[in-house]
Structure 1
Amino acid sequence: MIRLALAALLLAGPAQAAEMSVFVKNQRSQGVAVELFSRDRETVWPGDDKVFLIRPGARKSVPISCNPGENICWGAWVNGDDSVTAGVGPDNDQPCDNCCFICVEHSTETIDLAE
């Protein structure tokens, strides 16, 4: 019985990644840096110690590859001054009520960064 269950898991293979977009609207007068943090695994977008930089007043769509159903939170801060933050902040350690979303294939999540 255990061998049968293990064989079924092996044949199922890894879960397929979902491709989605995150649309950031920076309504601030300063440029901002944005990172996305998975709540379900050790993953950060864009990763490799990089950030998404959004100019003042700009809008930018960034594609991400995530696991369907994955819980993702965003952190933003003024570029060059990480004491001015929004969402979960640069260290993913700030409480927030509306800075997380669920990964859904072919969907777009919008982040509005106001003054």
Structure 2
Amino acid sequence: MIRLALAALLIAGPALADDMSVFVRNKRSDGVAVELFSRDRDTVWPGDNKVFLIRPGARKSVPISCNPGENICWGAWVNGDDQVSAGVGPDNDQPCDSCCFICVEHSTETIDLAE
């Protein structure tokens, strides 16, 4: 029975997704909403029309499951006013050279949101 289970695991092959964390530090006096966008596929975190909400001055670590080497960009905006935004913004349509990172298993990417 154990051999059969081990054989099934070997046949299944390696997992396609890596787990990593994104650590967001909101240094603003406003609460912010954050989304993460894949540049390599049609994926958004947290997805399902939801956002990560971070209170003023708070820190939050969010786990994501991504593909190894996947290019991920972040967008943030003042909660309730998406005209005040950072990164690629709420619609993933603003140019940004410093708001993307690569998916690396068991790593943490830090995002600092300043005034």
Partners of 1:96 and 1:41 in 2: how far apart?
Answer: 18
Structure 1 runs (4+) greater than 3 angstroms displaced: 11-15
C-alpha contact 1:15 1:67 (8 A) present in aligned 2: no
Aligned AA for 2:95?
A: P
RMSD between superposed Cα atoms in Å: 1.4
How far apart are residue 97 of structure 1 and its match?
1.5
Provide structure 1 residue ranges, at least 5 long, that are not aligned to the other structure.
1-10
C-alpha contact 1:39 1:72 (8 A) present in aligned 2: yes
Partners of 1:90 and 1:14 in 2: how far apart?
Answer: 34
**Which residue of structure 1 lines up, in the alignment, with residue 8 of structure 2?**
none
Aligned AA for 1:32?
A: V
**Which residue of structure 1 lines up, in the alignment, with residue 63 of structure 2?**
63
1:85 and 2:81 matched: no
- Number of residue equivalences: 105
Structure 1 SS opposite 2:109: strand
Provide structure 2 residue ranges, at least 5 long, that are not aligned to the other structure.
1-10
Q: Equivalent residues in 2 for 1:99-110 (5 A)?
A: 99-110=99-110
